[in-house]
Amino acid sequence: MKKIGIIWAVMLVLFCREHTVAQDPNFHIYLCLGQSNMEGPAAIEARDTTVNARFQVLAALDCPQLGRSQGQWYPAKPPLFRCNTRLSPADYFGRTMVAHLPETIRVGVVPVAVAGSKIEIFDKAEYQAYLDSSAAERPWMINMAKAYGGNPYERLVELARQAQKVGVIKGILIHQGESNTGDKAWPAKIQKLYDNLLVDLGLAPNSIPLLAGEVVNQDQGGKCASMNAIIATLPQTIPNAYVISSAGLPAVPDKLHFTSESIRQLGKRYAVQMLSLQGYGVRE
C-alpha cells in the first residue's frame, strides 16, 4: 500500500508539472465582446487577409468553411467571430499589439459578440429573460445567440477558461451601446458583467483593464452618438476601465456602423491604450 501511495504521489507531481508548464505567461489573452461593431460589420479587404502567426483566435464555434473547430486556436485571419461576420476592431487590436510587443509574446483573442443585442444578453442571470422578450422583434438575434449555445456569456466563460490553460488573460475589450442608447444604468450593467467575469475566471477584483469603445461619434453624425456621454462615465464605475474614442472615424450611410478603415483605426486605438497600460509608448 505504501508503494502504491508513492506512485500516486509521483503521478500527481508530474500531472501538476505538466499543467503548470502548459500555461505560457507570454501568451496574452483578451476577451472581446459586444454587438455588431465588435462582431465585425465592415468589409474584409485584401490587406486584411494576411496576419502574423503570433496573433491567434480561439474559435468560438465550428466553421467548416473556414477550416475551424470550436475550442481550437488558429491564426487570427478574419472573420474572428461567427463564420460569416467581417472585419472587427479585434483584428487590428491584435495586429497592432504583436507589432509592438517583444517577439516572444503572442496575442490571442476570445471572441463572442451578438449583433443588435443589448448588454443584457451577457447577464448571466437575466440573459434568458432578455432573449425571450426579444424573440418576436429580433428573431435573427436569437439565432445568433443560438450559435453560442443559446448563452453567449457562458460560451465566453467556457472559452476563457480554456484559454487560461495555455495563456494569461490580460484584458477585456467591449464595443456595445447602440442598443442601450440612453440607458443610464449601462455603466452599472457593465460593472456587473465585469465583476461576474472576474469571479468566474478566478481573477482578482479590478485586476485587468476593460477597454470600452465609443459608438459612431457626433462628429460623424452618429445616430446613437448621445450614448457616448454615458460610456464616458464608465471609469467612474470601474476604476480599471478606459474609454476608446471614436472621434474622426467615418461611418457607413446607416450612421451606426464604421467603415473598414474606421474599424482598423478603432482597433489600433484599443491597442495603443492597452500598450500604454503595459508600459509601451506607442502612438496610433
Catalytic residues: 36, 254, 257
Sheet holding 168-175, edge to edge: 73-75, 55-58, 106-113, 27-34, 168-175, 210-213, 241-244
Helix, strand or coil, per DSSP, at residue 17: helix
Cα(9)–Cα(11) distance, integer angstroms: 5
Give CA 104 to chain center in angstroms.
22
Q: Among 54, 184, 58, 35, which residue's Cα sits nearest to residue 111?
A: 58
Quickly tell me which residue has 465582446 as its cell. 33
CB 33 within 8 A of CB 174: yes
Contacts of 204 (CB under 8 A, 6+ apart): 198
